[in-house]
Amino acid sequence: MKESIILAVDGGATKTTLTVRSSKGKKLFEQTAKGSNYQTVGEDVAIQVLSKLLSEAYRSINLKQIDVAAFAIAGLDTEIDLAIIRDIIKRSLKKTPFRAENIIVENDVHATLLGLVGNHPGALVISGTGSVAFATNGNGKVVRTGGWGHRASDEGSGYWIGQKIVNTLFRIEDGLLDGPTILKELVFEKLQIKSMGELMSWLYHPSYTNAQLASISSILPKAVSIGDEHAIMIAQNAAYELFLLVSAILHKIHYQNEIMPLYVNGGVLKHHPKILNLFKQSILQSFPFVSIELCNEEPIEYIVKRATHCLMDNGI
């Protein structure tokens, strides 16, 4: 039986990983470059990043024929995004000798879920800088809840937690909430500042990014372990928001209490034990037959599995 060739791309806002594997699992090429989410870097840069990675992959393996190419790209949220990203991929591929028999273009979380579960029911919730949940009924239906960015959603995410922490500090400063809170000391220590005025300047500095605000969420576990009431409240609310994401996604696939995996990923669910434990409790109380499993592999591995499932489905 002929050995098939798989090309997989995990294209995020900050980095892009491209790998080429054989159907037997041999790694022929793998390299990481800067981000290729066109919403973040622009279409021209996305093409440059993908073209360079594809060209270097071709020079390394010297094979023209790719049986399945799976492009899992962040920022693919609408049909308009899909059309733009397909054009970016088409233009990038044209710059190389590669010829792909089957091309998959999907949102990165969508592709990760299908890499995890294949043609079986399952769900995936991610809480990192942002938050999103996907689920499939195993019969081709894939649905989504959340992931609409910090201006519209991202509840329970690192950004959301960072915002709640900062909001709590300013509300205490204004006398709208009772203090004190250890959160203030921890934020000041993390940012190397000494006053609320400096915090204000940091928030509205021209170089401010959402990722910077999300990074403040890293102080929450310590504040929770100390027993800070404001920190505990934020953790409880974050866990509840993530539970709502999963509850909504399960209802969308008409989940009927069958045994099914729920995969969890992202820095909030991996590094905030209080949030993870509260989230698990809520899920198991409402959906006792759902098994919660933590994603432990690098994202590109799930994209490779997505491409491998495609090979199997097409009998390649």
Query: What is the reported pTM?
Result: 0.91
E strand or H helix at 133:
strand 131-136
Dihedral angle at the C-alpha atoms of 15, 164, 206, 148, nearest 10 degrees?
50
Residue for token digits 């969420």? 217
Long-range Cβ contacts of 194-200 (<8 Å, 24+ apart): 196/169, 196/170, 199/166, 199/169
- Domain layout of the chain by residue ranges: 5-119+297-313
What is the layout of strands, in order, in the sheet containing 142-146?
A: 142-146, 131-136, 122-127, 260-265, 290-294
Q: What is the pLDDT of residues 199-216, one digit of tens each?
A: 999 999 998 888 899 999
CA end-to-end span of the chain: 9
Q: What is the pLDDT of residue 312?
A: 80
CATH 3.30.160.100 fits 5-119+297-313, yes or no: no
Mean of pLDDT values over 242-248: 98
Q: How high is the mean pLDDT of the chain?
A: 94
Q: What is the pLDDT of residues 274-295, one digit of tens each?
A: 999 999 999 999 999 999 999 9
DSSP three-state, residue 19: strand
268 phi/psi in degrees, rounded to 5 = -65, -45
Residue 15 in contact with residue 33, Cβ under 8 Å?
yes
Query: How far, in whole angstroms, is CA 273 from its chain's centroid?
Result: 19
191 phi/psi in degrees, rounded to 5 = -90, -5
d(CA 153, CA 113) in angstroms, rounded, equals 21
Residues of the chain above pLDDT 70, percent? 98
Q: What is the pLDDT of residue 313?
A: 76
pLDDT exceeds 60 at position 249? yes
Beta carbons within 8 Å of 206's beta carbon, 6+ residues apart: none
Q: What is the pLDDT of residue 315?
A: 59
Mean of pLDDT values over 144-172: 94
Q: What is the pLDDT of residue 66?
A: 95
Mean of pLDDT values over 228-247: 98
Which among 90, 30, 61, 36 has a CA at the least distance from the CA of 301? 30
pLDDT exceeds 60 at position 246? yes
Mean of pLDDT values over 84-90: 97
Residues facing residue 93 across a β-bridge: none
Residue for token digits 């080429």? 20
pLDDT exceeds 70 at position 316? no
Question: Strands 99-107, 290-294: parallel, antiparallel or unpaired by DSSP?
Answer: unpaired
pLDDT exceeds 70 at position 1? no
d(CA 165, CA 213) in angstroms, rounded, equals 10
> Any idea what DSSP says for residue 4?
P
Q: What is the pLDDT of residue 211?
A: 86
